[in-house]
């Protein structure tokens, strides 16, 4: 009898039944479900503390401001950042990466400079760099991937040069599940004189992150992929990088003073947070970080065990083509695969009939899809509430779908 996850009961939505089956939510790379602690943080904020931050002296404004700044400090601790002022609240990873590309990279890039990304980047860590490169006459280069779906380190190292200004890499691939050796890649990039932007959207909430140990110059994450709400994320930056970065949005809260023709910026991080921020979201994201704090290590082990089991079960599905590394130690719980001759959307539709929530498509990775020679894949992705019973159900569902659709 497979053991259920010890964390499942913390997530109210998992009590739902879909098509008569208990919900097997395997779309966690897209967004995770929210524990009660996060839902309570959102509702208690609006029921008890709601006010705008920073500009009020009344009690609720003081409370809202304190909760917002406490959230910043909590996220700084979560990432091992030296100071809360190095945490900028954004709408999510996409917003954070666009801020670095527009506010830090664009003013710095010169014609002939290079930006190095990998072929496994999500569009959010690719298109902003295309835009910056095109505007500044810089060149975008791609580190290749191996046949197994890991980053080709030789390709990466050989494309670093004195012209490389920025290296933008994902920590964990949202398609292949590959865990990139971030620390090593960052050291290589630094040795070449480049700054490194780490897309941690898929690692936050699954792997312990320590920005000082990683030594990344910037790191972006999304709250909703680490059990927090949508519409809130974080950009971490080294203090000198943030001091160099230009604000991209002007407005309230980001200035020290404003004259008719000019304005002076507020100190970091307020400089990058124009307008009323997502206060409730920041507070609830902090609740997610606090939820994870004592659970991250045991959950990481739980997910690693399930990853090994999933590889075994998927390998046993007849004809299934799995993308990404076979070695469970080198990958996270994200699995992309296809059943030959069947469109992933059709298979996902059949699986939904068994209460299995999977994603099908290009997963915002069209460059990678071309490298894999496909236009779309099915993707199952795990979270700390996943369990082996769900993976058994997935394997059976895939076999059933194959028979039903191949007739």
Binding site for another protein (CB under 8 A): 54-58, 61-62, 65-66, 253, 255-257, 264, 266-267, 270
Residue 314, helix vs strand vs coil? helix
Give yes or no: 364 in active site. yes
Q: 23 vs 53, which CB is nearer to another protein?
A: 53
Q: What is the largest CA-CA distance in the chain?
A: 72
**b (16+ CB within 10 A) / e for 60-77:** ebebbbebbeebbebbbe
Q: 112 vs 251, which CB is nearer to another protein?
A: 251
Distance of CA 111 to CAs 108, 197, 258, Å? 10, 20, 34
CA geometry: angle at 196 spanning 195 and 197, to 5°? Answer: 130
* Residue 269, preceding peptide bond in cis (omega within 30° of 0): yes
Strands 377-381 and 195-199: unpaired
Give least dist CB 146 to another protein, A: 46
Pairwise CA distance, residues 75 & 84, whole Å: 8
Give least dist CB 101 to another protein, A: 24
Q: 52 vs 230, which CB is nearer to another protein?
A: 52
Q: 154 vs 256, which CB is nearer to another protein?
A: 256
Give least dist CB 56 to another protein, A: 7
Give least dist CB 42 to another protein, A: 23
Distance of CA 112 to CAs 136, 158, 244, 254, Å? 9, 17, 21, 33
- Decide: 259 and 315 in contact? Cβ < 8 Å: no
- Decide: 285 and 75 in contact? Cβ < 8 Å: yes
Non-local (6+) Cβ contacts of 122 within 8 A are 170, 174, 199, 201, 363, 364, 365
Give least dist CB 336 to another protein, A: 47
Q: 9 vs 275, which CB is nearer to another protein?
A: 275
Give me the helices (H) in 293-363, please.
296-315, 344-352
Q: 267 vs 318, which CB is nearer to another protein?
A: 267
Q: Which of 216, 241, 364, 365 is catalytic?
A: 364
**b (16+ CB within 10 A) / e for 321-358:** ebbbbeebebbbbbbbbbbeebebeebbebbeebbbbb
Q: 231 vs 253, which CB is nearer to another protein?
A: 253
The token duo for 177 is: 């599940």
Give least dist CB 77 to another protein, A: 18
Give least dist CB 148 to another protein, A: 49
- Decide: 221 and 204 in contact? Cβ < 8 Å: yes
Active-site residue list:
364
């Amino acid at each position: 009898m497979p053991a259920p996850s010890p964390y499942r009961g913390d997530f109210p939505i998992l009590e739902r039944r879909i098509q008569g089956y208990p919900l097997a939510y395997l779309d966690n790379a897209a967004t995770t479900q929210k524990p009660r602690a996060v839902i309570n943080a959102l509702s208690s904020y609006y029921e008890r503390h709601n006010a705008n931050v920073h500009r009020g002296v009344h009690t609720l404004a003081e409370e809202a401001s304190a909760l917002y700044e406490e959230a910043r400090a909590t996220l700084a601790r979560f990432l091992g950042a030296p100071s809360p002022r190095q945490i900028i609240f954004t709408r999510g990873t996409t917003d954070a990466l666009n801020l670095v590309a527009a506010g830090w990279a664009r003013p710095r890039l010169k014609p002939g400079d290079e930006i190095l990304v990998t072929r496994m980047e999500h569009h959010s860590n690719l298109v902003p760099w295309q835009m910056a490169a095109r505007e500044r006459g810089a060149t975008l280069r791609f580190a290749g991937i191996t046949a197994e779906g890991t980053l080709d380190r030789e390709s990466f190292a050989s494309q670093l040069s004195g012209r490389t200004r920025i290296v933008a890499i994902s920590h964990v691939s949202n398609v292949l599940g590959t865990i990139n050796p971030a620390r090593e890649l960052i050291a290589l990039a630094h040795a070449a004189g480049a700054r490194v932007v780490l897309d941690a959207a898929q690692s936050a909430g699954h792997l312990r992150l320590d920005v000082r140990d990683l030594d990344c110059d910037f790191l972006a994450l999304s709250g909703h992929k680490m059990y927090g709400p949508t519409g809130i994320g974080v950009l971490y930056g080294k203090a000198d990088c943030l001091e160099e970065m230009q604000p991209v949005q002007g407005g309230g809260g980001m200035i020290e003073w404003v004259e008719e023709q000019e304005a002076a910026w507020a100190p970091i991080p307020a400089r990058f947070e124009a307008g009323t921020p997502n206060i409730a979201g920041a507070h609830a994201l902090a609740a997610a970080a606090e939820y994870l704090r004592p659970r991250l290590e045991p959950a990481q082990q739980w997910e690693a065990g399930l990853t090994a089991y999933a590889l075994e079960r998927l390998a046993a599905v007849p004809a299934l083509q799995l993308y990404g590394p076979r070695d469970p130690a080198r990958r996270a719980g994200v699995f992309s695969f296809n059943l030959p001759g069947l469109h992933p959307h059709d298979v996902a539709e059949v699986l939904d009939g068994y209460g299995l929530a999977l994603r099908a498509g290009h997963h915002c990775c069209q460059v990678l899809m071309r490298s894999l020679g496909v236009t779309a894949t099915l993707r199952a992705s795990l979270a700390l509430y996943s369990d082996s019973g769900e993976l058994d159900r997935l394997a059976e569902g895939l076999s059933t779908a194959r028979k039903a659709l191949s007739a």
